[in-house]
Chain A
Amino acid sequence: MTAALSLRNIEKSFGVFKALGPVDLDLNPNERLGIIGPNGAGKTTLINCITGVLRPDNGTVHFMGNDISHLLPHERARLGIARSFQIPRPFIGMSVLENLLVPLDYKHNVHNKEQRALELLQSVGLENRAHDPSGSLSQLELRKLELARALASDPKVLIADEAMAGLSDAEIDEVLAILMRLNRSGVAIVMIEHIMHAVMRFSQRVVCFDTGQLIAAGTANDIANNELVQKVYFGEQTHH
């Protein structure tokens, strides 16, 4: 079976500070992978290297068996790697519907874009906000818009970067349900999350990062009982 995503030897430094790596990581098609780790562990740098926003100093990224290391972010997005941002970045100055038209505009063979955009909004429960300015959305609605926009490109991999930060428990359940439904429709999902109960419940496999290194991998149970992981998290707590 070809991995949906395959990272080999990925490294990234900012000046003298080594933010990431070397990291090897595979994501299977239709898998639900959770990534945890304290702040500054290199999780967001990892996503930026996968999506092409940052170019790693070293290493390769393969998507469905093809080397995409040299592709630009928009080329990777069109191939089927979608992401949401840690801090939602709606296209301010456009309506909710227009926010979804942007990715649809730049995708080939989309007929009746407005129809498709409305369907996407329906799938996340935002259809009644379609014509409101995106600046007027609530935190939960912004999170949903991020997801809907990511889905517009019909991704095979969706990377949700802290898509539930700042939400209530009921709202977290709502977002989890959306992600679960997506996963059933065939999308592999990478969830970067600080909300432990959510990521543990959702993921089939969890990996933990610390200071740019992958320190543990396994099922949610394995990870919860892993000594290294506990040390990282308890260690972090003693700092506060």
Chain B
Amino acid sequence: MKRNNVIFTLGAFLVLLAGFFAPSIVTNPFYFFAGYVVVQYIVIATGWNVLGGYAGYINFGAAAFFGSGVYLSAFLFNTFGVPLWIGIIAAAALGALLGLAMGYLTLQIQGVYFAIATLGLVIVLETIVHNLPGLGGARGMAVYGPAPPAWSGGPVQYVFFVILIIAVACVALARWIEHSWIGRGLRAVRASEDAAECSGVPTLKLKLVACSISGAMLAAAGAPYPFYTNFIEPVTAFSLLIGLNAIAMPLIGGTRSWAGPIIGAIVLASAQQIATVTISSELNILFVGVVLIAFVALAPNGLLGLAKRKSAGASK
């Protein structure tokens, strides 16, 4: 375990280093535009998986958390000129609160109700934003960020590096949770809530912790988004595709380990980035929906599960 920690830390450091120096090697900004989306989905998938994968509580409303992060950081910047990094922290705090509230309202009953409630959260928040002129209403609002720091090589390169830092932080946190007593408790909850409770695990408290952490990550994923697009509107911030991808990516990669969401996000988001050039967003959703159904029906443990089964079969 110790050696793995060293390797992980080294890997994370290398990823950040590569992200920092990439602008001086890669000159075409398109790669940063596309890369931003892929990395953003790593954060979303990782955040979703803390609750959905480890504890087995499905959140259909990832877009609600993402969207509130988008709107909070945009609002704070446009109104008070709050810098991005504070916006990210504020978004994470809001997401944690939102997750806590949702969990508190629904987790005492059953997982189904939590899932259904999260479906609704997107529409409630979208309705609120629609009706608040201060947030641009249905028309949306423009966000013109400050000039990026000189070392960053440009605005896109800058937000790419920011989302990369968020991703590394979230993955490290998710990995830590997975290997700690929290992760073990959550997996016990997923396996049998009654048995966990009778083994001394405070299941409700643990689920609330997972809800808050997951909510914080999902909202943090949205915070840099206004500075990436320079324009936000309810339809894109609370997009159906975000909620769908948040579930599909961990399921495709594998929900049991931190690497699963990363694999799923890279595979699916890259495919989508390449495909958007050629296909419509409707076809995109259709594609993800079909892939999601296929994995739920045929490979509930994702690509990592398939690989594990294959290697187990080979060793026999």
- Measured CB to CB, the residues of B under 8 A from A are 181, 184-185, 187-188, 190-192, 194-204, 256
Contacts and interface: CB of A to CB of B under 8 A. Distances in A.
A102 B198 contact: no
Given A73-B198, A102-B196, A152-B199, A93 B190 contact: yes
28 contacts: A53-B194, A72-B197, A74-B199, A74-B202, A77-B198, A77-B199, A85-B194, A85-B198, A89-B191, A89-B195, A90-B191, A90-B192, A91-B191, A93-B187, A93-B191, A94-B191, A102-B184, A102-B188, A102-B199, A102-B201, A103-B199, A103-B201, A105-B201, A106-B181, A106-B199, A106-B202, A152-B199, A153-B199
A30 to B, nearest CB: 22
B192 A106 contact: no
B189 to A, nearest CB: 9
B104 to A, nearest CB: 15
Given A102-B185, A105-B184, A51 B198 contact: yes
Interface in A91-105: 91-94, 98, 101-103, 105
Main secondary structure of the interface of B (DSSP, over half): helix
Contacts of B198: 51, 53, 73-74, 77, 82-83, 85
Contacts of A77: 197-200
A107 interface: yes
A153 B195 CA distance: 13
Contacts of B184: 94, 98, 101-102, 105
A149 B194 contact: no
Contact of A74 (B181, B192, B201): B201
Closest 7 CB pairs of A and B: A105-B181, A89-B195, A89-B192, A103-B199, A91-B191, A77-B200, A73-B197
A101 B179 CA distance: 12
A53 B195 CA distance: 10
Nearest to A77: B200
Contacts of B204: 72
Contacts of B256: 93
